[in-house]
Amino acid sequence: MEKQNIYPPGSLVQVTSYSPFRGLNGTIQTTDTISDDLEELFCFYLVALEGTQIKEPIWFEHEEVELVTFPLVALEA
The predicted-structure confidence for 25-68, as pLDDT tens digits, reads as follows 999 999 999 877 657 778 999 999 998 898 999 999 999 999 99
Residue 1 lies in a domain: no
- Looking at the structure of the chain, the number of domains it has is 1
- Residues spanned by the domain of 35: 12-67
Residues 6+ apart with CB under 8 A from 53: none
Would you say residue 33 lies in a domain? yes
Any domain includes 5: no
Examine residue 74 and state whether it is found in any structural domain, yes or no. Answer: no
Residues whose CB falls within 8 Å of the CB of residue 59, separated by 6 or more in sequence, listed in order: 32, 44, 45, 46, 47
- pTM of the predicted structure, to 2 decimals: 0.79
In a domain, 75, yes or no: no
2 in a structural domain: no
Question: What CATH number corresponds to the domain at position 17?
Answer: 2.30.30
Per-residue model confidence (pLDDT) at position 57: 97
